[in-house]
Amino acid sequence: MALPGLTNIIARLWTSLAARLRGRPPVPFSVLYKKFKGILERHNAILELIGDMGDKLGGDYIFDRQYILDSCERLGDQVFKLISDLNLLCQGKNVALFTAFERIQLRVREELAGRRVLSRTDHILPLSELTHDLADEGGNKMASLGDIKNILGFNTPDGFVITAGAYFETMTRAELRKPVAESIRALCVSEGEGLEEKSRALRQAVMDMPLPRELRQAIEHAAGQLSSGGPQLLAVRSSAWDEDSESSFAGMYETVLGVAPADILPAYRRVLASLFCEEALRYRLHHELCAEEPAMAVGVMPMVDALVSGGLYTYAPLQEQDQVMVVSAAWGLGKPIVDGTAETDTYLLRREPPHELLSADIADKTTRLVLAAGGGTRTESVPEAERAQPCLSAAQLTLLAKTAMTLEHFFKRPLDVEWAMTPQGELVVLQARPLSIRPRACAQTEDAAEAVKGVPMLISGRGVTAMGGVSSGPVHIMAEGEDLSAFPYGAILVARHSSPRFAKVMPKCRGIITDVGSATGHMATIARELRVPTLVQTGSATRTLREGQEITLDADHQVVYEGVVEALCRFELVREDVFEESWEYRTLKRVLKHISPLTLLDPKSDAFAPESCRTFHDIARYVHQRAVDKLTSLAETHQDIRERAPRRLVTRLPLGLTVIDVEGGLDAAAGEEPDERDIRCRPLKALMEGLNIAGMWETSPVAVDMGSFMSSVTRTFGAEAAHPSRMGRNLAVISREYLNLHLRLGYHFTVVDAFLGGSVNDNAIAFRFMGGVTDLTRRSRRATLVAAILERSDFLVEVKGDMVTGRIKKHPTRIMLDKMFILGCLIGYTRQLDAKLNSDAALNRHLDIFLQRITAVRETRE
Amino acid sequence: MTSDAIENPASIPAKAPGGETARRRTSILVLDDEPIVCKRLKPFFQKAGYEVEAFNQPLEALARIEAKRFDVVITDLKMEGLDGLSFLGKVKSLHPDTDVILITGFATMETARQSFRKGVFDCVAKPFKLAELLDGVRRIEKERGLAS
């Protein structure tokens, strides 16, 4: 494989090869066409590999380190060859593309080698941008808080994080990274000899090191903004790598509360230095973390002015009662509660909704900590009348319980949640970390299997796991087009079709079961992001399950049990290892960041260039586009083409279609003006049948309102002006089995690439649909409609903005030809549709109409 | 729990006091030097009602096999120190009626196929679906009359 530098040599070789080629007669068209087809095949293979890698995150597969290494190697190899193929086709060098490749390849390798590549180089990141995807930048604790705020949508304080990147830069400039690594290595080798001394020396070095000026200014500026220039005090919290994750380091690092904005820098230093405190170094030693470089991100948040504060364990570590959560609460700020110095109320609540209150132990609370008017905190006595009062109402307790259980379902761990109630009655989540105490009963692993013996199975062995996990709750059957805002908290969503719309209720729902859907679709991706156990493609869940019925979903085993199988849910919570936290899962997810996102979207924009390629997917997309462009221009200019010159196909519909027949795509006897009867290309023939079928070609005049009309005019003019030579020209490159079709109809741009009629394994259709008139909302409605139709026709669908990509492969030719027929219908039907898609209701109506028509058409055909 | 057990004798745990088991669980030993494989297979099979022991170290697994017979052994083919085929040989010589499922890399599928002759029940190639493996174990239970 390409070593650094090798690509440059190859690029230079291309230059000389190209120079020699220029002096020669042109390469025969058939050779170039073969190369073109090779590019398409490789392009598909690459996308398939990327898709496979993404699938592995779904939870259905067991994969290991070797799989990740092999896949990255194979993918890198394929992408490299794809670029070389393009160079051959275009007979030119493309140094910029090789450079982009090398850049991405290097990032992937760094990730694999355990040197995390920070995707954001900022020193300061606002909490509002943090999620676990930025756990490397923000550290675990702050990333979790980011998930709570930004994914689950709960209240947290505002704030920012001083990133691990800032830590590295500071340590690098102070030349401390090497001494740190050496100290830790020495400690590991000597099994802790001189640990106290080394700890002291490292902490002192951190306290004494200079902070880079820009960093100091950035921190002070951000802290000033957070306190709005006032006396608002701040909480400065550790958020180290590995803290609160598999290895916990719980409570070892420093948190400084009640920091005045002017004192932010010393507090930051103190938290940094705690990275090397004795407990943490000892922990590192005993948990085989010697090879991992430590890093400390630091979170900064305003202190919440709390009327009531407290903690909550979602699983009470009690002997007698295994099924309860425990809440402790006191008046004022939370510090005395966390420190254990305050008298607190203790409430026990049932874990299951509606979270019945089992007991309330109300303490005599004589003092409380409050924010002082002029800044700082002070302890005051609680007014006599309030001392023996419970500090939480029933409604507040329910809210707390629901919030905590939603967090537990997301993090898949019993949790310790720190919270506060503001004087306005708002619940604020301050922190959530895994409970180190495991529920007692969980050691009995046989429980789970024993508990399900004899429990009726409502669904078994059907469906595909889109996200693993176990959960229980009442069924809510979602009707098509139902208002999502009324979705009941804690229910399991059961629907006919999967839909990315469900993202909205995912934080509230315990699980998702659909009759139809794909484990690689958009909804599945979101379900994984939100960790909602999801089973798709069960066939008949909406008919098997009843509204309101209590069930337990075990997505790992594709089983739905009747009733709540508590032991099974408990089993899930006490697994020693959460898959999502394993090295393999995290590493695959990290490398995929450099592989699968598609950021090059619009071929007409200036950014559509090798320099902008950020992922392997981008490179594949770029090469594909360049190859198609090249073939199109070759078809117009290549001297070989004369005998198979582009011919205008006479069609019943006004398609303006030019065909280039490479091999057997048209009847040999066809003349200069072939018509539809001359088509021998099987995929094109099937597509034309779909286009021509009665009732599918939408011809009714479309009332375009002024807004969408204007936007359509500007859009189309803009797009057409970029390619004046191709205006109005639709092109199909065909052979007997192959079709590559570029079709601009109305305002849509469709690309179909199909190879049908070889072996089943070679059969593949790729369909892309983009552009269009009207505003973005309507265009994205149209994209949703197209995606829904494609999904129902078994295509694997991806939607990016208003671009829809559908792929299907490896079905018998007969079935694939039927898919081409459906694509024909779809192109005809949606040709002018977006102007009509003025509401979500219209979207659903058109989906129904289309499906009805296609059913009718099929019945007639059969 | 106690009252439930009295009403429903079938739910008495397998390790009931008194030696003889009421209903024996199918036992599985998993050996793979990739910790992630053990970490994921163990709870998966436990949840499905199996008695599972998982090992990352071939030598430890070997010692365990000498002390105890398992109904099913699931082992990786390629490991540091000891390869799956020698482990397989050892298992078969100690317990001819133990069935073995081999986990292989994609590239080593051929070696795996050859070993069918040595009494391997089934092979799965990494990466594999959990359901595939469960299916293999269920087929073993069926053939051996182990399934409840």
The 3-state secondary structure of A209-261 reads CCCCHHHHHHHHHHHHHHCCCCCCCEEEEEEECCCCCCCCCCCCCCEEEEECH
pLDDT at A506 over 90: no
Number of residues that this document lists for chain B: 148
Q: Phi first, then psi: what are they for B70, rounded to 5°?
A: -110, 150
CB contact (8 A) between residue A450 and residue B13: yes
Q: Which residues of A touch B10 (CB under 8 A)?
A: 453-454
Describe the crossing of helices A65-90 and A616-637 by its angle, rounded to 10 degrees.
20
On whether the CB atoms of residues B100 and B111 are closer than 8 A, the answer is: no
Residues of A in contact with B13 (CB under 8 A): 446, 450
Residue in A49, A56, A62, A556 to test binding to B, most B beta-carbons within 10 Å: A62
Looking at the complex, does the CB of residue A34 fall below 8 Å from at least one CB of chain B? no
Domain with B117 in it: 25-144
Q: Of the given ranges (A129-133, A242-246, A709-713), which has the lowest mean pLDDT?
A: A709-713
User: Tell me, what DSSP letter sits at residue A597?
Assistant: -
pLDDT band with cut points at 50, 70 and 90 for residue B79: confident
User: For position B8, what pLDDT does the model report?
Assistant: 36
CA distance A630 to A742: 13
pLDDT at A830: 79
The CB density around residue A780, as the number of other CB atoms within 10 Å, is 19
- pLDDT at residue B89 is higher than 60: yes
pLDDT value for A715: 33
Average pLDDT over residues A180-200: 86
Q: Quick one: closest CA in A to B126, which residue?
A: A63
Contact list, B147 vs chain A (CB under 8 Å): none
pLDDT digits (tens, 9 = 90+) for A438-458: 544 444 445 567 777 788 999
A675 interface with B at CB cutoff 8 Å: no
Mean pLDDT of A636-646: 62
Which pLDDT score is estimated for A659? 87
pLDDT of A69-93, one tens digit each? 999 999 999 999 999 999 988 888 7
pLDDT for the residue A194: 86
Within-domain flag for B60 = yes
In whole numbers, what is the pLDDT of chain A averaged over residues?
A: 81
Across A338-352, average pLDDT: 85
Q: Give the alpha-carbon dihedral of A173, A178, A180, A183, to 10 degrees.
A: -160
Candidate from B14, B41, B105 with C-beta closest to A62: B41
Q: What is the CA radius of gyration of chain A?
A: 31
Considering only CB atoms, B127 lies closest to which of A56, A558, A583, namely: A56
How many whole angstroms separate alpha carbon A666 and alpha carbon A680? 5
Using pLDDT thresholds of 50, 70 and 90, give the confidence band for residue B33: confident
Minimal CA separation from B34 to chain A, in Å: 7
Q: Which residues face A419 on adjacent strands? A: A310, A429
Whether B10 maps to a domain, the answer reads: no
pLDDT band at A134 (very low <50, low <70, confident <90, very high): confident
Residue B20 lies in a domain: no
Average pLDDT over residues B1-20: 37
Kindly tell me if the per-residue pLDDT of A611 is higher than 90: yes
Longest CA span, chain A: 104
Classify A646 as helix, strand or coil. coil
Average pLDDT over residues A90-99: 88
Residues A554 and A618: their CA atoms lie apart, in Å, by 37
State whether B11 and A558 contact (CB < 8 Å): no
Q: Does A394 have pLDDT greater than 70?
A: yes
The one-character DSSP state at B20 is S
- Bigger pLDDT: A442 or A750? A750
What value does the mean pLDDT take over residues A669-685?
A: 90
Question: Exposure of A692 by Cβ count < 10 A (0-12 exposed, 13-18 middle, 19+ buried)?
Answer: middle
Q: Which amino acid is at A105?
A: Q
* A390 band by pLDDT with thresholds 50, 70 and 90: very high
Closest chain A C-alpha to B48 CA, distance in angstroms: 6
Q: Which domains does chain A have, with CATH numbers?
A: 6-117+594-625 (no CATH), 125-302 (3.30.1490.20), 308-439 (3.30.470.20), 442-573 (3.50.30.10), 646-861 (no CATH)
* pLDDT on residue A817: 93
With 90 as the cut, is the pLDDT of residue B22 above it?
Answer: no
Assess whether pLDDT exceeds 70 at residue A234.
yes
Tokens of A32: 């170039």
User: How many Cβ atoms from other residues are within 10 Å of residue A55's Cβ?
Assistant: 17
ipTM, 2 dp: 0.78
Q: What is the mean pLDDT of residues A207-214?
A: 94
The distance of Cα A408 from the centroid of its chain, to the nearest Å, equals 20
Could you tell me which residues come within 8 angstroms of residue B117 by beta carbon, excluding any fewer than 6 positions away? none
Question: Which comes out higher in pLDDT, residue B13 or A677?
Answer: A677
Distances (CA, A) of B92 to A830, B73, B100: 64, 10, 9
Cβ <8 Å between B126 and A62: yes
Q: What is the DSSP letter of A204?
A: H
- List Cβ neighbours of A716 (8 Å cut-off, separation of 6 or more): A747, A773
Q: Provide the pLDDT for residue B3.
A: 35
Domain count, chain B: 1
CB contact under 8 A, A576 and B46: no
B99, part of any domain: yes
Q: At what angle do helices A195-208 and A278-286 cross, to 10 degrees?
A: 120
Q: What pairing do the DSSP bridges indicate for beta strands A738-745 and A748-755?
A: antiparallel
pLDDT for B4 equals 35
Q: Please, which residues 403-462 of chain A have a Cβ atom closer than 8 Å to chain B?
A: 445-446, 448-450, 452-454, 461
Q: Which of A61, A64, A73 to mutate to test the interface with B (most CBs of B within 10 A)?
A: A64
CB contact under 8 A, B47 and A584: no
Q: Which residue of A has its CA nearest to B48?
A: A449
Distance of CA A356 to the CA centre of its chain: 36
For residue A647, CA distances in Å to A528, A665, A674, A682, A688 come to 49, 12, 7, 18, 17
Cβ <8 Å between B39 and A577? yes
Kindly state whether A538 is in contact with chain B, defined as any CB-CB distance less than 8 angstroms. Answer: no
At residue A819, the pLDDT reads 93
pLDDT at A40: 78
Burial A792-831 (b: 16+ CB within 10 A, else e): bbebbbbbeebbbbbbbbebebeebbbbbbbbbbbbbbbb
Chain A residues with beta carbon closer than 8 angstroms to that of B37: 62, 64
Q: What CA–CA distance (Å, rounded) separates A337 from A328?
A: 8
List the single residue in A62, A448, A449 with the smallest CB-CB distance to B37: A62
Average pLDDT in chain B: 78
Average pLDDT of span A202-231? 90
Q: Nearest by CB to B128, which of A62, A453, A558?
A: A62
SS3 label, residue A712: helix
For the segment A113-134, the average pLDDT, to the nearest whole number, is 81
CA distance A714 to A772: 11
Cβ distance B130 to A446 less than 8 Å, yes or no, reads: no
Walk across the sheet containing A748-755 and list its strands. A647-648, A657-663, A730-735, A738-745, A748-755, A764-771, A803-809, A796-800
Considering the domain boundaries, does residue B12 fall inside one? Answer: no
pLDDT tens digits for B101-122? 988 876 666 776 776 666 788 8
Mutation for testing the A interface, residue in B1, B75, B130, B148 having most A CBs under 10 Å: B130
Would you call B37 and A61 a contact, using CB atoms and an 8 Å cutoff? no
pLDDT surpasses 70 at A191: yes
Separation of alpha carbons A701 and A731, rounded Å: 26
Encode pLDDT of A705-738 as tens digits: 333 333 333 333 333 333 333 333 678 888 888 8
**How far B145 CA lies from chain A's nearest CA (Å)?**
19
Residues 133-162 of A with CB under 8 A from B: none
Range in A259-263, A325-329, A729-733 with the lowest mean pLDDT: A729-733
Q: Which chain B residues are Cβ-neighbours of A446 within 8 angstroms?
A: 13-14, 25, 46
| CB contact (8 A) between residue B47 and residue A448 | yes
Is residue A763 a contact partner of residue A809, using CB atoms and an 8 Å limit?
A: yes
Burial grade of A148 (CB within 10 A; 0-12, 13-18, 19 or more): buried
Is B47 within 8 Å of A571 when comparing Cβ atoms? yes
The DSSP output letter for A666 is: B
Instruction: Quote the pTM value.
Output: 0.62
Question: Is residue B11 one of the residues assigned to a domain?
Answer: no
Contacts of A449 in chain B (CB under 8 A): 25, 46-50
A441 contacts on B by Cβ (under 8 Å) = none
* pLDDT attached to residue A501: 77
Sheet (strand B51-55) strand order: B51-55, B27-31, B72-76, B99-104, B120-125
Give the pLDDT score at A111. Answer: 85
Burial letters for A713-728: b for 16+ Cβ neighbours within 10 Å, e otherwise?
eebbeebeeeeeebee
- pLDDT score recorded for residue B68: 94
Q: What is the CATH number of the domain that holds B55?
A: 3.40.50.2300
Q: Do B34 and A448 touch (CB under 8 A)?
A: no
A568, closest residue in chain B (CA to CA)? B47
Between CA A115 and CA A117 the distance in angstroms is: 6
Tell me whether residues A66 and B34 touch, CB distance under 8 A: yes
Interface test with A, best of B2, B27, B40, B75 (most A CBs within 10 A): B40
Query: Phi and psi for A416 in degrees, rounded to 5?
Result: -110, 110
CB–CB contact A556 B37 (8 Å): no
Q: How far apart are CA A245 and CA A136, in angstroms?
A: 12
- Of A251, A240, A389, the C-alpha closest to A311 is A251
Whole-number percent of chain A with pLDDT over 70? 82
- State the pLDDT at residue B61: 93
Please report the pLDDT score of residue A721 as a whole number.
Answer: 30
A838, pLDDT greater than 50: yes
Q: How confident is the model at residue B15 (pLDDT cuts 50, 70, 90)?
A: very low
Candidates B25, B40, B127; nearest CB to A579: B40
Q: What whole-number distance in Å separates Cα of residue A850 and Cα of residue A693? A: 13
Residue A723: predicted pLDDT? 36
CA distance B26 to chain A (A): 12
Residue of A nearest to B42 (CA): A575
**A576 reaches B (C-beta below 8 A):** yes
A63 contact B CB<8A:
yes
Tokens of A404: 């905590």
Question: Smallest CA–CA separation between B134 and chain A, in Å?
Answer: 9
* pLDDT of A767 over the 60 cut: yes
C-alpha distances (whole Å) from A27 to each of A44, A88, A499, A700 are 25, 10, 49, 48
Flag whether B102 is in a domain: yes
- Residue A161 backbone phi and psi in degrees, to 5: -125, 140
Dihedral (Cα; A305, A307, A311, A316), 10-degree rounding: -160
